[in-house]
Amino acid sequence: MNKASMEAGAFDGEGEAARPPQAPPCTVVIFGAGGDLTKRLLLPAIYNLERMRLLPTRFRLIGVDHNARSVEDYRLSLRESVQHFAKTRGAEAGAFDATAWAKIENSVDYFQGDFNDPAAYSRLRDHLAAVEKDSGVEGNVVFYLAVASRFFAPITLALAAAGIMREERDGSRWRRVIIEKPFGTDYASARDLNEQILGVLNERQVYRIDHYLGKETVQNLMVLRFANGIFEPLWNRNHIDHIQITVAETVGVEKRGGYYDRAGALKDMVPNHLFQLLSLTAMEPPNNFSADAVRTEKVKALDALRFADAKRPSECAVRGQYIGGTVQGQNYNSYREEIDVEKGSMTETYVAMKLTIDNWRWHGMPFYLRTGKAMTKRLSEISIQFKHPPQVMFRDTEVDRMIANRLVIHVQPDEGVSLRFGAKVPGPTVKLGRVWMNFHYFDYFDAAPSTGYETLIYDCMMGDATLFQRADSVESGWRTVEPLLESWKLDPYRNFQNYPAGSAGPQIADELLAKDGRAWNRMTWKPTEERKP
């Protein structure tokens, strides 16, 4: 997240939004050119970057896949995808910017090649050289691996073996690789993948992407903490009772049963998405906002992360699997009835856990994390629950319990921040009511349409790795959950409970917090519901 992108929502002295600089000339090569990720998210993000005038003037896009197809056919398929999936808002809602798309469309090329064929990479090297000569993209290339994880290492190694990843020493030509999740399936595989990739590339060339970090509210978390004097002094165990991080999805496994049944909720979401949110919430202030400074503090937080009972991690985590139910009016089958799922599968579609961070700031204060599929509401949020103030001065009034302040960072779908505090209810007696102050991004900023990938692709073009995971960050996440995975192997039925699709999860998840005298935030909650006492 370079300084320019951080300031994109700021306003200059004339009241106009400060515009980040245009990205330098480059080529984007997408492996997996015909996949869902490319069609649903990557091309709409590139289209939105052009609409924001951030895409390079000299730009080429090359789709790589094994299927034979013409350039014209590929361009048409991308146009249809962008028209269908690109997000627009406000007065332009539903509009398609034909001018913006025309520039991208004219830059699109298609390259047929088998990912496992070394000869394909030699041809790709020659093709890139011809593109550089013809279009003036200066040899700068972003390789986006929108492919199954089994191809991450083979493609990277083959690119290096063909000499494609070689950079100029003076920095006049750069080559970068964006790698999607899952980055490994456990600690050993993540470490092995890192060793393979870093055996042929420098860390500065590797961009391990987590699209959650492209969300405006996630990026705003650092600004909220470190640019506002009212929050950081209270951001510790002395003032905060506990922190909850929730990532809930209404969708089931859909057509991903084959992958999901091997992964489950923990591997799919916790070491990447949830731990990235946690590390940004818990990290110490970096010396500056350079990529390495920020990522070093995030890794320190992850290195100190522990299950609340380190000797018995399975007692600090619960899991469940959805059964038939109704989600927002739509009937759902049980997980075991989904396509490509084993009939007797014990794969969890929900997981919740209690963790602590063993450092000076957070020692002894719990972090509660939960994520699940087929739940009552699509919701991603970070909730900071502050400690109750002392009640001494109110002992002779009708106030029987003080109201704890709560700061809720809404990551999606309604990006913003809410703060709860107590206020006196009008009347002759002292009675407290809950009130909320709410900030919504779209109420204050003319935010551009976004898929969440725009910032990340732009930052990679700019060479800013702040919002991408470093090798040690990935390994720290897997190392933390490794004891729990091992425990589950020994006892597959421990703390496992089904939950109806459309619910907030299994009952045992509520019990995890009830043991501490706490409760999860309601997923159907809205700040406006708590305006009255």
pLDDT digits (tens, 9 = 90+) for 153-209: 999 999 999 999 999 877 778 999 999 988 999 999 999 999 999 999 999 999 999
pTM (2 d.p.): 0.90
Q: What is the mean pLDDT of the chain?
A: 88
User: What is the residue whose two structure tokens read 């599929």?
Assistant: 373
Has 273 been annotated as catalytic?
Answer: yes
% residues pLDDT > 70 (the chain): 89
**The residue to which tokens 């998210």 are assigned:** 41
Closest CA to 458 of 86, 49, 52: 49
Q: How many helices (H) and strands (E) does the chain have?
A: 16, 18
When pLDDT is cut at 50, 70 and 90, the band that residue 446 belongs to is low
d(C-alpha 145, C-alpha 125), whole Å? 16
Question: Domain-by-domain residue ranges, the chain?
Answer: 3-209, 214-382+470-520
**527 confidence band (pLDDT: 50, 70, 90):** low
Confidence of residue 91 (pLDDT cuts 50, 70, 90): very low
Q: Cα(38)–Cα(431) distance, rounded to whole angstroms?
A: 55
pLDDT of residue 210: 87
Q: Among 40, 30, 36, 49, which residue's Cα sits nearest to residue 97?
A: 49
**Buried (b) or exposed (e) across 242-275, using 16+ Cβ within 10 A?**
bbbbbbbbbebbeebbeebbebbbbbbbbbbbbb
Stretch (H or E) spanning 76: helix 71-85
Of 86-100, 261-275, 319-333, minimum mean pLDDT range: 86-100
CA pair distance 139, 160, nearest whole angstrom: 15
pLDDT recorded at residue 413:
82
Helix axis angle, 43-51 to 71-85, nearest 10°: 70
457-480: average pLDDT? 95
The single-letter DSSP state of residue 530 is G
Q: Measure the CA–CA gap between 504 and 345, rounded to whole angstroms.
A: 21
Q: Which residues pair with 27 in a beta bridge?
A: 60, 141
526 pLDDT higher than 90: no
Contact 346, 339 (CB under 8 A): no
In this prediction, residue 533 carries a pLDDT of: 38
Distance CA 203, CA 262 (A): 29
Q: Specify the range with the lowest mean pLDDT, choosing from 68-77, 112-121, 153-162, 397-406.
A: 397-406
Three-class SS state of 346:
coil
Overall fold of domain 3-209: Rossmann fold (3.40.50)
> What one-letter code names the amino acid at 531?
R
Structure token pair of residue 110 = 């298609």
- DSSP secondary-structure letter at 11? B
Task: Give the mean pLDDT of 468-489.
Answer: 95
Of the residues 211, 239, 242, 273, only one is catalytic, namely 273
Between 10-24, 185-199, 254-268, the lowest mean confidence (pLDDT) is in 10-24
Chain center to CA of 373: 16
Helices 471-490 + 187-198 axis angle, to 10: 150
pLDDT at 403 over 80: no
- For residue 328 the two structure tokens come to 């927002």
Tokens of 367: 């972090």
Residue found by looking up tokens 């361009």 in the block: 75
| Alpha carbons 54 and 34: distance in angstroms, whole number | 24
DSSP string, 251-319: ---TT-HHHHHHHHHHHHHIIIIIHHHHHHHHPPPPSSSSHHHHHHHHHHHHHTEEESSTT-GGGGEEE
In this structure, which long-range contacts are made by residues 265-268, counting pairs with CB atoms below 8 Å and at least 24 apart in sequence?
Answer: 265/319, 265/348, 265/349, 265/350, 265/351, 265/371, 265/372, 265/373, 266/319, 266/348, 266/351, 266/481, 266/484, 266/485, 267/182, 267/185, 267/186, 267/481, 267/485, 268/182
Answer yes or no: same fold for 3-209 and 214-382+470-520: no
Q: Across the beta sheet with 108-112, what order do the strands follow?
A: 108-112, 59-65, 26-31, 141-145, 175-179, 206-208
> Is residue 2 pLDDT above 70, yes or no?
no
* C-alpha torsion angle, residues 54, 58, 64, 69 (rounded to 10): 110
Judge whether residue 394 has pLDDT over 60.
no
Which class is 214-382+470-520 in CATH?
alpha beta
Can you tell me whether residue 508 is helix, strand or coil? helix
- Contact of 291 with 206, CB cutoff 8 Å: no
Phi, psi (5° rounding) for residue 206? -105, 125
Q: Mention every residue, 6+ apart, whose C-beta is less than 8 A from residue 361.
A: 235, 236, 237, 282, 284
Three-class secondary structure assignment of 180-242? CCCCCCCHHHHHHHHHHHHCCCCHHHEEECCHHHHCHHHHHHHHHHHCCCCCHHHCCCCCEEE
